[in-house]
């Protein structure tokens, strides 16, 4: 008899909201950069929108940390080891095909369209990036080919239209390399302290290592002195603290699930957590980094409550769940769809008298085309590799 696959209800709904929030943010920021009507101009929404994209990505990070840690701990409990080969091949078959398709679209198709058709000049911010040869240099291409788009974005400053969003996929891949090794090497009692220590290291580095002081270092500074800016760059490029927050939750759920389920089945707990999530999404209450961390923990609490099927008021919705199922495609395809839609919106609706029609055109076409493209991609492209992953390299 085949063992039932581990599946948490409610996580797809959270993935859907995370991916859709990133689209919303990118639409508004591109409108703002092209000096068209944007909600950034509304002071009430400025903080919410300014942080919405990163908060959506951080929710993805916390989800990944939670789920990957939980599954790895259960795998180690079952086999007394981590099946590293199967783990890495599962990640390869799920992540790599779509990732490299987006790299191809970003480095080949988008520049070709921009050069051969004048209409794409009507999105000034994108066209400036496409016209900059450094963004499409060999060095830039190599960072993408070797899953270092976060290095391309944060360290080199490359802006590859259609592919810049994949910086977070690079972070995820780097997390996937490290995490199974940590759980493989450390015993159950020690791994929790490793997670806590890593979290503290990242928080300490972000708070106390300031890039403004780097230029004060002399050119002949010692390796130890130069290590500080290097640490800062690594911390900035690889924000593992949010995965680590999720990992702590994954550890607790793996070994204390009965206590967590008893606590998380409360309707009032769900409503309180949800209320605090909205408060910290909309209002600037603390330093932006600490507010992000607080939201990270709130996302974790939301995950722990959401997956409890005994809590009868947690959000469940089949269409939204399906969007979460195809959320990897939604996240990866939407900049390409925006590249296609915005030039037409800027050409035909961009004046003071057509603001409503402009926004309707942008939002309807970006969201609908992204979802449609992601649906077909999942059904006819990604599912081919997912089937291989689930049949040949399943471990639990």
pLDDT in tens, 217-270: 455 555 454 455 566 666 778 889 999 999 999 999 999 999 999 999 999 999
Question: What is residue 214's predicted lDDT score, i.e. its pLDDT?
Answer: 46
Domain residue ranges in the chain? 11-381
Asked whether the predicted pLDDT for residue 309 surpasses 90, the reply is yes
* DSSP state at residue 154: I
pLDDT in tens, 51-74: 999 999 999 999 999 999 999 999
How far, in Å, CA of 96 to CA of 114, rounded?
Answer: 26
Asked whether the predicted pLDDT for residue 204 surpasses 90, the reply is no
Q: How far is CA 362 from CA 23, 27, 119, 329, 385, in A?
A: 11, 8, 16, 19, 32
Mean pLDDT of the chain: 91
Band (pLDDT 50/70/90 cuts) for residue 2 is very low
How far, in Å, CA of 6 to CA of 1, rounded?
Answer: 15
Mean pLDDT along residues 38-45: 70
Element at 384 (helix H, strand E): helix 383-392
Band (pLDDT 50/70/90 cuts) for residue 3 is low
Question: What is residue 222's predicted lDDT score, i.e. its pLDDT?
Answer: 53
Asked whether the predicted pLDDT for residue 99 surpasses 90, the reply is yes
Task: Report CA 52 to chain centroid distance, whole Å.
Answer: 12
The answer, as to whether pTM is greater than 0.85, is yes
Tokens 């947690």 correspond to what residue?
Answer: 314
Question: What is residue 238's predicted lDDT score, i.e. its pLDDT?
Answer: 85
pLDDT in tens, 172-186: 999 999 999 999 999
Mean pLDDT along residues 370-380: 98
Question: What is residue 355's predicted lDDT score, i.e. its pLDDT?
Answer: 81
Question: What is residue 155's predicted lDDT score, i.e. its pLDDT?
Answer: 84
Tokens 């995965």 correspond to what residue?
Answer: 243
Judged by average pLDDT, the poorest of 13-22, 194-203, 370-379 is: 194-203
């Amino acid at each position: 008899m085949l063992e039932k696959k581990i599946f948490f209800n409610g996580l797809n709904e959270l993935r859907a909201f995370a991916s859709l929030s990133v689209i919303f943010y990118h639409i508004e920021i591109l409108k703002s950069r092209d000096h068209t009507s944007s909600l950034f101009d509304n002071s009430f929404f400025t903080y919410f929108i300014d942080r919405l994209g990163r908060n959506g990505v951080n929710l993805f990070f916390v989800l990944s940390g939670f789920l990957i840690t939980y599954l790895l701990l259960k795998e180690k409990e079952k086999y007394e080891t981590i099946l590293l080969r199967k783990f890495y091949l599962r990640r390869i078959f799920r992540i790599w095909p779509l990732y490299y398709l987006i790299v191809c679209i970003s480095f080949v198709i988008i520049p070709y369209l921009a050069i051969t058709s004048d209409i794409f000049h009507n999105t000034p911010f994108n066209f400036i990036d496409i016209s900059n040869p450094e963004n499409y240099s060999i060095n830039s291409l190599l960072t993408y080919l070797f899953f270092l788009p976060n290095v391309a974005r944060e360290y080199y400053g490359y802006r590859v239209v259609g592919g810049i969003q994949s910086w977070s996929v690079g972070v995820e891949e780097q997390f996937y390399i490290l995490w199974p090794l940590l759980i493989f090497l450390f015993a159950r009692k020690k791994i929790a302290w490793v997670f806590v220590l890593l979290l503290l290291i990242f928080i300490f580095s972000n708070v106390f290592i300031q890039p403004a002081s780097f230029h004060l270092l002399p050119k002949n500074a010692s390796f130890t002195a130069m290590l500080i800016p290097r640490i800062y760059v690594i911390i900035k490029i690889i924000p593992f603290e949010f995965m680590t927050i999720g990992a702590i939750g994954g550890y607790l759920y793996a070994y204390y699930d009965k206590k967590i389920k008893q606590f998380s089945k409360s309707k009032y707990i769900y409503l309180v957590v949800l209320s605090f999530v909205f408060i910290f999404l909309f209002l600037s209450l603390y330093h932006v980094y600490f507010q992000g961390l607080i939201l990270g923990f709130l996302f974790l609490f939301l995950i722990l409550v959401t997956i409890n099927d005994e809590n009868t008021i947690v959000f469940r919705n089949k269409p939204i769940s399906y969007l979460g199922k195809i959320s990897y495609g939604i996240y990866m395809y939407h900049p390409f769809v925006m590249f296609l839609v915005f030039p037409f919106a800027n050409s035909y609706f961009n004046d003071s008298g057509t603001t409503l029609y402009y926004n309707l055109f942008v939002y309807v076409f970006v969201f609908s085309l992204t979802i449609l493209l992601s649906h077909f991609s999942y059904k006819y492209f990604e599912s081919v590799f997912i089937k291989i992953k689930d049949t040949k390299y399943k471990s639990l």
